Structure 1
Amino acid sequence: MHQHHKVNYIEMPSRDLNLSKAFFTKVFGWAFVDYGPEYCAFSNGGIDGGFYYADLAISSQSSAPLIILYSNQLETTQTAVLAAGGELIKTIFSFPGGRRFQFKDPAGNEFAVWSE
């Protein structure tokens, strides 16, 4: 159900749509639908969205928003990220309220995963 004035959809760049789809399917169980060669939509990610082909990447160093996913098993998720070709930017660290790590997906986009 769409909610008035709530975040509804997010679009992110990808240098390689096939790598992005394979990575997020393998690690996080997202489902994808292709809409031509330069766009794919995803579902089952907590919020729906899409990847568009671009020679850009999301990075907190360039002041882009940091997309943070949740995990019940942080170490297991970190292992899965690495096994699927992700690159750690910050290993698991504590912060007030929990722990998290940050990584780049194979297309170069930065994300974080947190847990209590």
Structure 2
Amino acid sequence: MARLNYVELPVRDVPGLKQFYETAFGWSLAEFGPDYAATVTDDVDLGLNGDTGQWTAQLLPVIEVDDIEAALEQVTRAGGTITLPIFSFPGGRRFHFRDPHGHELGVWIRSGGDGAG
């Protein structure tokens, strides 16, 4: 069986984006040299790649949370920009944001996860 287990973002400021994700979501990112940091969870992990020679694409990673309102507040406080406010869709609720480097990500909660949806 194949499954998504890693999302890598091209970034110009690895330390700055590392700090953003640690502040916004409480994640711990290990440093693998000056141009790379990543979560190491044995689940779906996030890598921040500062080597511009390896940049090829951008996509929309989506992060599942337990409290979407708290996540929106934390993302904003950490310096993220909300690009789509919280909206409902079949199965849950979601919002989109741009991190300080300009990557767009989604944050979602399953229906019933916080009493809404």
1:54, distance to aligned residue in structure 2 (A): 5.4
Query: Structure 1 regions of 5+ residues with no counterpart?
Result: 56-62
Percent identity, aligned pairs only, is: 38
* Contact 2:5/2:43, CA 8 A, preserved across alignment: no
Within 5 Å, give how 1:20-59 maps onto structure 2.
20-44=17-41, 46-53=43-50
Please state if 1:78 is matched with 2:75.
no
Q: Distance in 1 between matches of 2:11 and 2:48?
A: 6
Q: 1:13 matched to which residue of 2?
A: 10
- Please report the RMSD computed on the Cα atoms of aligned residues, expressed in angstroms: 2.1
Query: Structure 2 regions of 5+ residues with no counterpart?
Result: 112-117
Q: Distance in 1 between matches of 2:92 and 2:45?
A: 25
After TM superposition, where is structure 1 displaced by more than 2 Å over at least 4 residues in a row?
Answer: 4-10, 43-46
Normalized per residue, which structure has more strand? 1
TM-score under structure 2 length normalisation:
0.79
* Contact 1:94/1:100, CA 8 A, preserved across alignment: yes
TM-score under structure 1 length normalisation:
0.79
Aligned-partner SS, 1:5: coil
